[in-house]
Structure 1
């Protein structure tokens, strides 16, 4: 295995070296061929600002970066962010960052996706349409002083390309192995010149998958199909007022919850029930209104989202002994309203922002239980059902101010107050399937949580191309009510909190041809949300005592000469439980020891394009007792093509060395569920601009 990995690194270095030395003028260091890196601006702090001047750990993916890397899904973005990983099973799409895991019974990820101002953190709606976007901004670390919805781990800000006076259209088609087809298109342009603009986009994908299904008459079990569409409307009624509307819809269908198995070894086959399904329908609506005065501006953000999930999983195939068939049919809706005032840009560097936020969410579970195989032990099978309803209401006020102390030295103070109220209407039915005799349990429970979340940052701009900063903040995730606990007295679990310390540097070198950023962090975590299953289908939510997470994150971008770009992202995390009965000193599950991404690409004036990439994860434990893990692995990808003025054609190969690995894993009531990583895959992509 070591020789296998070493060979991969050798060939990647050969490709990169070949790109450099084959470039005309490199050996002579022809300065006319050298150009600077583009200046990247972000809006994650509510104003357009250069990312290198913001005292925070930020990873940015521009439209060109996303297209060059062949990124189609939000998980592919997340897995290229230092110390951030994404995985998906029939239990939802989950993000883990710096040791912070999703909350099992609040269904919340520690990282929130904002899609043109519309927030998503629910594990079953953690999806984003990446067609026709301007950039994706990933703000790493707890965020509460600038955003309506609080995030304990970070923010992923997806910014769509706003239509304008320029008529722009593009269609892209892709074919890959395993009967994989993808098509996406967009069209932008004016309805009324200088005032009203419209953008339309849509995408469709389908694959037969690569996991062989041993069920009689079936081929594969990880086939899936998805389509996404969105409408963008940009209206400028006056010179001071701007109105942006976003409406999007997605349908995601996966017959068996993806390439998920329960095994210690990677395999590309298993047995699945053809009636299994995992269907998710998502609707997003957002209305952003901004009015500007000379010194400040007002913004209103109104959003509505609806997520419907329908799951059936025959879980008998995940264990050697008969277990149960899992059923879940639920709808989650949320309305939110954010109002904020903020200063406009000025020359002295001071700025301020203040706002209020309200949201009302509802989780309506029509069916949420299982058909238990209890005939051998009881003489009959049993159906358990939890058709409950959870209501959640959040009210918060937040603000941040930055003031210059002396030349180049700035202090930023942020504060958030938040109150979360939840109410659970618990309904439970246990039915004997031979006689239809039922036992019912019902109760109502409510509770609320409130917190004051401060943040302070000191930043020093040593010179125009170098800055250092230090920050301390309080991370927070409200408690919850367990919708699967028949005992009312233990249904409630407490909030999770953290104190986050971060020190970072942002620098540019060699006449802005090299960018080097680094962040060092330490997190003191208390009352982490965890759960246990003391007996079959009895889920108990609780809080682990204490944990800590420390590490480093490094990002580098370089352009040694015209057309050649080299990027690298590295993250190392040491995340352990300090107080958690039976697990003290163990690594927090789902957190790789390190993440590493290295890419080099060359774009020649003649139209030739070449890209090589390596992605690597360190050892990752998949259970709290650290008995199940994935060893370190590396993946190598390659892409070559030709780019003309109005069309592009590319050929690619992902996982060139055909590495066998698990891309994600998590402990569950069935044991450890593991997502099998994609094998070597060849494909072709073609696009046409109009």
Structure 2
């Protein structure tokens, strides 16, 4: 670390020395003089064009030129230079100032609203499009409860496309990086043969064939950003007359990725392989069972024929960029159409604007289940005969190696999103230059999605035969459990939801003196959500489901769908009509075996803002801003749920108080400072309620509403240009986002709250019996909820630092720009339980770029390297789960008079942490050529 800070200081000194020499050279007339000012940036953060320094809101803005200069190529790069912003590529989820969405359940809304050309989108992906397509990205920090009121409780991200030009323009760009990563793209723009109509057309193709993570299983591909993506867009701009103009964009995207793109592998878990994670007990005998000592399994076959010892050793334990998997990740995005349009009629003193658009896509993700599992493709269980099975002469339990069923444990998941949404907004805004400005509008958003997910035992030939039930199960289909359709699906969940949001808003700005301006905005929003969910849950050869296959001697499939402790909502049991958000009891289709129920609810809120702005001099602006933020309630459905007993989550509310200063010092130093405090209520946090004793059950995934939290901090963004051609960017943010009230939640990785730092409620108490509800089967102690007060919110590092030093050397043929960036990010947690196993360490990263531009701006050549020292970086806090196996001896000592009900005894094997990594060292070259 000391060496890296020394290098930073050396780089700054070297840049300053070069600057002094070049400054002297410029003065002698041997090179063209550079402007010693900081460029003004125009943004549309408040739905009208304004200088960034005049907007009384904390904003980080990235123009295409700035992104090329400092190397902001991805959304992760954007987080480095945006105070408070965090982004998880794997889940395509972001947080701002500790307020965010920590799940992919679409029935729970995002906390940071993304608007691509004015159209709301639930994904951040479009912000990562290359600078050839994006004119600028504006990150509005803090709740935008008036103009961007749809679930923008954490902030809003505006993505503004490059638009058609009146004059001809054409450009191509090509890039090649290590890992055989290439990008080819181009755009053309200009007038059409129709007067008043301009066009723009662009296309991008990006491909990477070598992954950032190496698979140690022979014949299996590497993963991590292995991509093949295409993007095409066309635009038209209309000027019908002096009063009426319009614009529209239609885009198409296609992904056929092998282990790359949102959802794919970018994490590692260094823990040894285990049989299962007790936070959500298995429904299958998985591969890790063959690695446990004393199990008696035989005929173990490994993927690629690798030795068993190697198959049972997790390569991530010694190298975070290695893994072993016999099931590859695949990501596809098909049928994607994105439409956006804007139509404006100009009255004498106001504009009437209509913004409309929508998106359709179908996303597919497949991969191994679980992600970290031993590459073992088959093994044979022993045959266990309890004493007396063969007659009175058998006085002890017999274990017959190789006498039991064969298990083929390759297990995979298939996750999909089928999305359709449409957005309409009409607003009327003043355009005169008077002291009183206003805007008013109406907004409508409609979304329909299906999010099916299922898991499959890929190689098990006996699956689907002889479906049986536990005692008392399948009572809702007359005691008969429907067979499978031959698709080997163990878990199959099919949610279908419809969401609408309607709003009316207005904001006025009154410049009541030359130095003072006040802002008042109000918005009323109503959100409606309804839908249905169908699920089927089976169990194959898993002791956790209440029976050990070793005792039976044959494969078996249990239908858990009609077990009320697994699937909720049956008449007479929790989770039916009367449960908040549930509009029907659970019913089972006797033909398919699927259990279904419906959901319906609505939420509404009045939000808004009040602000005071003070401009004591032309280069100084100070402001105070109060904003009320709101995020709709929702449902915890799909992905990893089984019609839970408490599916609904309550809406969030937030009161924000912010003071800021935007100051320019002599046009060579620009500093923007924001100090804020949030009072945050009902933060929606996903939690898994682990199963308790007393019967067969699976983990229940819910949203826990944290009653109260506080987020407060200081953010500084500076641009310093001390002499010609030298520019220094420095950003620092301090964030304290913590829980002030909340308790009673059990940590899934530490149910009895005995880990260091735990804050249990009550004393550790032994279970009366192992079947006592709430009993921890590993320790024999009752589970304990914890006091959450004082814990940090997830993905909220306290400190972030970003520095960029760039210098331009001017020569007769052109200019050479050197750019060095350094970022440092503090530790952060991935859970509301701030324990070591949820903590991602602090990290830093160095990047460098060298750009050559010719004098006529025809071409640019950029050489770059990112993560120079190939350090491990972390996109967010860690995830964690307790691991488990089975004790040797097949439950010896337990009553075995009824072999069909015998259960092997689980044993705690520790807690496994999973870390989300930033990319390794990448380097390459980019060529840009502009025809005209």
TM-score range relative to shorter protein:
over 0.9
Equivalent position SS for 2:12? helix
d(CA) in 1 for partners of 2:159, 2:927: 24
d(CA) in 2 for partners of 1:414, 1:273: 56
Post-superposition CA distance 1:588-626 (Å, at most 9, x none): 121111222111212233222211111221111223222
Q: Which residue of the partner structure matches residue 415 of structure 1?
A: 522
Alignment of 1:354-373 (within 5 A): 354-365=440-451, 367-371=452-456
Preserved contact between residue 169 and residue 187 of structure 1 (Cα < 8 Å): yes
Equivalent position SS for 2:594? strand
1:541 Cα deviation from its structure 2 partner = 2.2
Q: Which residue of the partner structure matches residue 212 of structure 1?
A: 214
Q: Which residue of the partner structure matches residue 260 of structure 1?
A: 267
Equivalent position SS for 1:52? helix
1:487 Cα deviation from its structure 2 partner = 4.6
Q: Which residue of the partner structure matches residue 534 of structure 2?
A: 427
Q: Which residue of the partner structure matches residue 172 of structure 2?
A: 171
d(CA) in 2 for partners of 1:416, 1:273: 52
The reply to whether residue 629 of structure 1 matches residue 834 of structure 2 is no
Post-superposition CA distance 1:440-482 (Å, at most 9, x none): 3211120000000021011111111101101111111100022
Equivalent position SS for 2:66? helix
1:107 Cα deviation from its structure 2 partner = 5.1
Preserved contact between residue 246 and residue 343 of structure 2 (Cα < 8 Å): yes
d(CA) in 1 for partners of 2:128, 2:919: 20
- After superposition, the CA RMSD in angstroms is 2.9
d(CA) in 2 for partners of 1:96, 1:55: 22
Q: 1:167 to 1:273 in 2, by over 3 A?
A: farther
Q: Name the stretch that deviates more: 190-199 or 11-20.
A: 11-20
Q: Which residue of the partner structure matches residue 605 of structure 2?
A: 451
Preserved contact between residue 312 and residue 326 of structure 1 (Cα < 8 Å): yes
Alignment of 1:608-619 (within 5 A): 608-619=816-827
Out of 595, 599, 612, the position equivalent to 1:441 is 595
Alignment of 1:237-276 (within 5 A): 237-256=240-259, 257-263=264-270, 267-276=320-329
Preserved contact between residue 437 and residue 509 of structure 2 (Cα < 8 Å): yes
Out of 492, 511, 523, the position equivalent to 1:404 is 511
| Paired residue total | 683
Post-superposition CA distance 1:563-607 (Å, at most 9, x none): 222212221101111223222211112111122211121223322
Preserved contact between residue 110 and residue 121 of structure 1 (Cα < 8 Å): no
d(CA) in 2 for partners of 1:62, 1:586: 37
d(CA) in 2 for partners of 1:123, 1:647: 30
Preserved contact between residue 342 and residue 354 of structure 1 (Cα < 8 Å): yes
The reply to whether residue 687 of structure 1 matches residue 928 of structure 2 is yes
Preserved contact between residue 794 and residue 830 of structure 2 (Cα < 8 Å): yes
Q: Which residue of the partner structure matches residue 660 of structure 2?
A: 504
Equivalent position SS for 1:234? strand
Q: Which residue of the partner structure matches residue 676 of structure 1?
A: 917
1:673 Cα deviation from its structure 2 partner = 3.6
d(CA) in 1 for partners of 2:265, 2:198: 39
d(CA) in 1 for partners of 2:719, 2:613: 22
Structure with the bigger percentage of strand: 1
Equivalent position SS for 2:19? helix
The reply to whether residue 132 of structure 1 matches residue 288 of structure 2 is no
d(CA) in 2 for partners of 1:667, 1:334: 31
Q: Name the stretch that deviates more: 468-477 or 212-221.
A: 212-221
Alignment of 1:373-384 (within 5 A): 383-384=490-491
d(CA) in 2 for partners of 1:316, 1:489: 25
Alignment of 1:80-229 (within 5 A): 80-89=81-90, 92-104=91-103, 105=105, 106=107, 108-122=109-123, 128=129, 130-147=131-148, 149-192=150-193, 195-207=196-208, 208-222=210-224, 223-229=226-232
Preserved contact between residue 655 and residue 680 of structure 2 (Cα < 8 Å): yes
Equivalent position SS for 1:664? coil
Q: Give the TM-score normalised by the residue count of structure 1.
A: 0.92
Out of 300, 308, 311, the position equivalent to 2:365 is 311
d(CA) in 2 for partners of 1:329, 1:111: 23
Q: Which residue of the partner structure matches residue 663 of structure 1?
A: 875
Q: Which residue of the partner structure matches residue 469 of structure 1?
A: 623
Post-superposition CA distance 1:38-75 (Å, at most 9, x none): 21111121111111111110111112101223333334
Alignment of 1:323-362 (within 5 A): 325-348=412-435, 350-362=436-448
1:16 Cα deviation from its structure 2 partner = 3.1
Q: 1:516 to 1:231 in 2, by over 3 A?
A: same
Preserved contact between residue 118 and residue 284 of structure 1 (Cα < 8 Å): no
d(CA) in 2 for partners of 1:59, 1:243: 28
The reply to whether residue 643 of structure 1 matches residue 853 of structure 2 is yes
Q: Which has the larger radius of gyration?
A: 2
Q: Which residue of the partner structure matches residue 284 of structure 1?
A: 338
Alignment of 1:515-664 (within 5 A): 515-535=670-690, 536-581=698-743, 582=786, 583-606=788-811, 607-627=815-835, 628-644=838-854, 645=856, 646-664=858-876
